[in-house]
């Protein structure tokens, strides 16, 4: 069985067959960089980063493009409000967004084109459409004539009658109410930086045509996968298809993948939701604030825990429950390191190639050297369940379930072998090999890229040093049979969210 993808265009799951064997081109609509990104902006990049990693693992050469919309009405308005230039605002917000992407382990983007740098490509497409009489200049604007495109509405499943009446009729220059702008005439009061030269006078491109131009520039007139949030199906993606297919005469994107929207308090977060309540909710939920509070790996794990087409319900409780889930793995990796004296991350690193360079070819046989047959067997089961879930329209939630299953098996093996109290070299090797295999499998969706415990040591290990002092004092008190004070230390720490765990080989601490 190969990979199947749910295609919004056909409304069904289809076998994935790339246009050029072995190669995959992906375009994902990126952010409009006028305000700090919120959690909704992280969903697409995280999901498609996981998809790219998995496609690379399955042997495809992937070219992934995510644009930056840095010319847009929203930017013009926001820059004026902040008393700055559009380019300064765009640069500042882009830098903030890219920093967040880094923290979220979104590492697979190959090209990040900016709309402002593709005005020439945009004008070329508009010219083609005008030549075919599918677009028409009108009063300095250029519009796409939806009545000339028989296929218009095929993605969102709407017809022209549905759209009439929903659109603003303000422009007497439009032939049909549903016509949309490809080019917008510059207004006198606008700053010079948004007045680009064109055959129709100074102006700026519409949002939809920007994506059409950047996608075909880097992926060709026809490519494999176009992605975005479900709120972009109409009008953005519908219009992208109309412009691109009418201009080139070719199928624009073979597969259209749309991810669910993030909901806070059951309300949808979308680019179009401008209600004061939602804006207030969003302003508190910038990626910047979120990543101050939670590790990037946790946010990534939280998002991947839902199948991408379903809505993501954001709440502190949900994040906390995912944190507990992640800690199951962290505790296993710590335990394996403690009993075996070597970090499973190091073993995994030695065997995982950079996903941007090539696949982890030996992953299926990662536990081939494990002597314990039940552990080898469990690995085969987990590996198969993981790949089966990912093959099925990139079901990351199912893939994560198989990671949990295998973590449970490795823990049971450590238990069964009495490794906490010592063990043979072979048993230790088995535990480390299996833990490292688990890390390598999770890396196919960009989880466990690096140890998180060491990252938490950003205070130069001061916290740990202080904790070791407390542990030492408590040990001393217990020796002197002052259990009351010893318990006082433990209980006070518990109330502060720090757990002490007494193990045969000593006491360890863990922050919740």
Give me the residues that bind Zn ion (CB under 5 A), please: 29, 211
CB-nearer residue toward Zn ion: 215 or 348: 215
Tell me whether residue 211 or residue 303 sits nearer to Zn ion (CB atom).
Answer: 211
Task: Determine the Cα–Cα distance for residues 59 and 16; give it in Å rounded to an integer.
Answer: 13
Pairwise CA distance, residues 340 & 338, whole Å? 6
Alpha-carbon distance of 240 to 232, in angstroms, equals 10
Query: What's the min distance (Å) between Cβ of 339 and Zn ion?
Result: 50
**CB 502, min distance to Zn ion, A:** 55
C-alpha distances in angstroms, 389 versus 256, 441, 475? 20, 13, 48
User: Least Å distance between CB 238 and Zn ion?
Assistant: 11
Name which of 242 and 363 has its Cβ closer to Zn ion: 242
Cis bond before residue 402 (omega within 30° of 0): no
Q: Is 138 left (phi over 0), alpha (psi -120 to 50) or beta?
A: beta
Q: Are strands 141-144 and 135-138 parallel, antiparallel or unpaired?
A: antiparallel
The residue (of 79 and 215) whose beta carbon lies closer to Zn ion is 215
Closest to Zn ion by CB, 271 or 510: 271
SS3 200: coil
Q: How far is the CB of 463 from Zn ion (least distance, A)?
A: 44
For β-strands 4-7 and 12-15, DSSP reports them as antiparallel
| Distance of closest approach, residue 316 Cβ to Zn ion, in angstroms | 31
What is the rounded distance in angstroms from the CA atom of residue 367 to the CA atom of residue 354?
A: 20
Closest by Cα among 83, 97, 86, 200 to 139: 200
- Closest approach, Cβ 287 to Zn ion, in A, equals 19
Nearest distance from residue 319's CB to Zn ion, in Å? Answer: 29
Strands 203-205 and 223-229: unpaired
* CA within 13 Å, CB half, 325: 22
The nearer residue to Zn ion, 239 or 347, going by C-beta atoms, is 239
Q: Is 345 exposed, middle or buried (0-12, 13-18, 19+ CB in 10 A)?
A: buried
User: How far apart are CB 107 and Zn ion at their closest, in Å?
Assistant: 22
Quickly count: other Cβ atoms within 10 Å of residue 303's Cβ.
24
| C-alpha span between 348 and 346 (Å, rounded) | 5
**Measured from the CB atom, is 230 or 385 closer to Zn ion?**
230
Distance CA 348, CA 328 (A): 18
Q: With respect to Zn ion, which residue has the nearer C-beta, 144 or 413?
A: 144
């Amino acid at each position: 069985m190969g990979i199947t993808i749910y295609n919004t265009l056909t409304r069904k799951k289809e076998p994935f067959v790339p246009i050029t064997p072995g190669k995959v081109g992906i375009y994902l609509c990126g952010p409009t960089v006028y305000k700090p990104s919120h959690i909704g902006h992280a969903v697409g990049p995280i999901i498609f980063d996981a998809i790219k990693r998995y496609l690379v693992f399955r042997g495809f050469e992937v070219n992934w493009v995510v644009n930056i919309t840095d010319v847009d009405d929203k930017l013009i308005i926001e820059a004026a409000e902040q008393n700055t230039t559009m380019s300064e605002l765009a640069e500042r917000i882009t830098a903030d967004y890219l920093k967040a992407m880094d923290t979220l382990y979104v590492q697979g983007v190959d090209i990040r084109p900016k709309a402002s740098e593709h005005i020439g490509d945009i004008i070329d497409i508009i010219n083609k459409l005008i030549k075919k009489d599918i677009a028409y200049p009108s009063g300095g604007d250029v519009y796409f004539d939806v009545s000339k495109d028989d296929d218009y509405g095929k993605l969102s499943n709407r017809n022209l009658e549905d759209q009439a009446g929903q659109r603003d009729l303000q422009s007497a220059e439009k032939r049909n109410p549903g016509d949309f702008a490809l080019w917008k005439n510059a207004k006198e009061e606008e700053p010079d930086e948004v007045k680009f030269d064109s055959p129709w006078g100074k102006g700026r491109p519409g949002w939809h045509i920007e994506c059409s131009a950047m996608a075909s520039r880097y992926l060709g007139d026809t490519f494999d996968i176009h992605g975005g949030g479900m709120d972009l199906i109409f009008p953005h993606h519908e219009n992208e298809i109309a412009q691109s297919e009418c201009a080139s005469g070719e199928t624009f994107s073979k597969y259209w993948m749309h991810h669910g929207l993030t909901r806070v308090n059951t309300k949808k977060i979308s680019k179009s939701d401008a209600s004061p309540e939602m804006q207030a909710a969003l302003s508190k939920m910038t990626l910047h604030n979120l990543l101050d509070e939670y590790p990037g790996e946790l946010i990534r794990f939280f998002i991947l825990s839902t199948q991408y087409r379903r809505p993501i319900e954001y709440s502190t409780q949900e994040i906390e429950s995912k944190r507990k889930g992640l800690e199951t793995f962290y505790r296993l990796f710590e335990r394996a390191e403690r009993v075996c004296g070597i970090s499973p991350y190091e073993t995994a690193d030695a065997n995982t190639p950079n996903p941007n360079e090539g696949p982890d070819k030996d992953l299926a046989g990662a536990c081939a050297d494990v002597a314990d047959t039940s552990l080898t067997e469990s690995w085969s089961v987990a590996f198969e369940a993981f790949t089966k879930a990912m093959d099925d329209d990139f079901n990351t939630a199912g893939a994560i379930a198989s990671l949990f299953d295998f973590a449970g098996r490795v823990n049971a093996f450590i238990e069964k072998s009495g490794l906490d109290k010592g063990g043979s070299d072979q048993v230790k090797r088995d535990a480390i090999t299996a833990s490292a295999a688990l890390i390598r499998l999770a890396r196919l969706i960009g989880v466990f890229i690096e140890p998180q415990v060491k990252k938490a040591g950003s205070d130069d290990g001061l916290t740990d040093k202080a904790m070791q002092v407390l542990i030492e004092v408590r040990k001393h008190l217990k020796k002197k049979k002052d259990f009351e004070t010893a318990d006082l230390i433990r209980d006070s720490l518990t109330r502060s969210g720090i757990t002490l765990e007494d193990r045969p080989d000593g006491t360890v601490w863990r922050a919740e």
